[in-house]
Structure 1
Amino acid sequence: MTVVRKESAYEQSLEWMRAQIADGSWTVGNRIPTEPELMSVLGVGRNTVREAIKTLTSTGVLEIRRGSGTFVRARTDIGGLLGRHAAVEEMTYVFEVRRALEVEAVRLACERRTDEDVRILHELAEKRDHAGDDFVEVDLGFHIAVVEAAHNPVLKELFAGILETVRATYNVTEGVHPPSLTSLHHRGVAAAIEDRDVDRARSAACGYLEKTKEAIGSSAID
């Protein structure tokens, strides 16, 4: 039994592939099924499969690696498009988008945070200091928690759209600054959001964001 009808096979195949990525069935960094496998599942021809893959590749969601297959690069089209600008020399542009979103998230979090939001922020700020190999996930989790605490669904969606590109910055900034350098900033954000102190929260957030900017610049020089 196939999953698409004969009519509009391209559109249905494209949407089905997007759904596999969006719901986590196909995760970022992993290889998707081969063309013959997709043809069998979808019940469509090779050209239809290739056109759908071509579309997702053009927006940066998928990446074709010759001799290895096709891999998921980003969960959304916006994430993929931004991901194409994630070379070290252009990483600063992505950072500017992140900074704009996160500084606003901090402001809103001070107004709208719940006690549970505060608990999570303190927990992650403390945990990142001794996260070891899990540092990237824990640190990224803190910044996601800040956005969550803003309780703005549109802001949350926008941040999710650049999340994979934000994750990529760790690959170029690793080792430039020790995580402990911004520990006080992260703890400061959590404490200021708890106190609903917008100025102090923004100041602390700008503290760790500035260090990130410096690390990106240093990596570009290297």
Structure 2
Amino acid sequence: MQPVRRTSLIAQVTEQLRAEIRSGRWAIGSRIPTEPELTELTGTGRNTVREAVQALVHAGMLERRQGSGTYVIAASEVGTALGKYFAGAEERDVLELRKALDTTAAGLAARRRDDTDIENLLRLLAVRNEQNWDHYDAGSVAADVELHRAIVVASHNAVYLEFYDSLLPTIERVIAARAVKQPAGYEEEHTDLVRAVIDGDQERAERAAQCFLGSLIAEYPEH
């Protein structure tokens, strides 16, 4: 039997770590295990683990933070590439894409949401509606984004969620820019959307998402 080549071993460990991210066991925003923990997890040496982690840093899935550790920032290389592409998109273009994505997600969520999704949506809706939308606040934007993402999660479509996650930084940018120019909470519209999803009313959920985002798009001039 030929010995395992070091490059092949690094590739194997890299794929093992990538699988932890793709599966959601290492969620976006979470810190991955320490180097000693990774050597135990993979059964390999520190140098191999270090190079595997570095490969995922180069791929845009992990980020090293000085004095804090290494964190998951993307679920795949595709998500990273899409995120970079969307970064410079026009606000109206992003909202038009969101209208299509959020409308479909709302319909799927109304059909597929489970008890955990319902509990999560009610909690996030309450958090969002408690925000002060009279003035721009990063916490308000985060609460809004988290609620909309939870609807996508409730669609129970992993590919959909990965694509949506790649767009999130751009969505946050657009929401923040709009909040500065024209603060508005749209609490009633978001409540209607969540209630339709919880009630399992697909048509009403799609209509609520479409009308809400359509009203936002109408504020922008045509190209």
TM range (shorter): 0.5 to 0.7
- The amino acid of 1:113's aligned partner reads R
- Unaligned regions of 5+ residues in structure 2, if any? 40-44, 65-69, 133-137
Q: Distance in 2 between matches of 1:149 and 1:25?
A: 17
Instruction: Compute the displacement of 1:106 (Å).
Output: 1.6
Question: For 1:46-125, what aligned pairs fall within 5 Å after superposition?
Answer: 52=55, 56=59, 60-61=60-61, 73-90=73-90, 95-114=95-114, 117-125=117-125
TM-score, normalising length from structure 2? Answer: 0.62
The aligned counterpart of 2:161 is 159
Counterpart of 1:41 (choices 39, 46, 59) is 46
Q: Distance in 1 between matches of 2:183 and 2:212?
A: 12
104 and 41 in structure 1: CA distance in 2 versus 1, 3 angstrom threshold: same
191 and 26 in structure 1: CA distance in 2 versus 1, 3 angstrom threshold: closer
Kindly indicate which of the two structures has a greater share of residues assigned to helix.
1
Question: For 1:72-221, what aligned pairs fall within 5 Å after superposition?
Answer: 73-90=73-90, 95-114=95-114, 117-131=117-131, 133-150=138-155, 152=156, 155-174=157-176, 175-180=180-185, 182-210=186-214, 213=217
1:88 touches 1:172 (CA, 8 Å); kept in 2? no
1:9 touches 1:44 (CA, 8 Å); kept in 2? no
98 and 42 in structure 1: CA distance in 2 versus 1, 3 angstrom threshold: farther
The aligned counterpart of 2:8 is 8
Task: Name the SS for the 1:89 alignment partner.
Answer: coil
- Unaligned regions of 5+ residues in structure 1, if any? 65-69
73 and 25 in structure 1: CA distance in 2 versus 1, 3 angstrom threshold: closer
- The amino acid of 1:168's aligned partner reads T
Instruction: Compute the displacement of 1:176 (Å).
Output: 3.5
2:141 touches 2:175 (CA, 8 Å); kept in 1? no
What is the aligned-residue RMSD (CA, Å)?
4.4
1:105 touches 1:146 (CA, 8 Å); kept in 2? yes
2:56 touches 2:62 (CA, 8 Å); kept in 1? yes
Question: Relative contact order (alpha carbons < 8 A, sep ≥ 6): 1 or 2 greater?
Answer: 2
The aligned counterpart of 2:67 is none
26 and 140 in structure 1: CA distance in 2 versus 1, 3 angstrom threshold: closer
May I ask how many residue pairs the two structures share in their alignment? 198
1:62 touches 1:71 (CA, 8 Å); kept in 2? yes
Instruction: Compute the displacement of 1:195 (Å).
Output: 3.7
TM-score, normalising length from structure 1? Answer: 0.63
Q: Distance in 2 between matches of 1:73 and 1:96?
A: 25
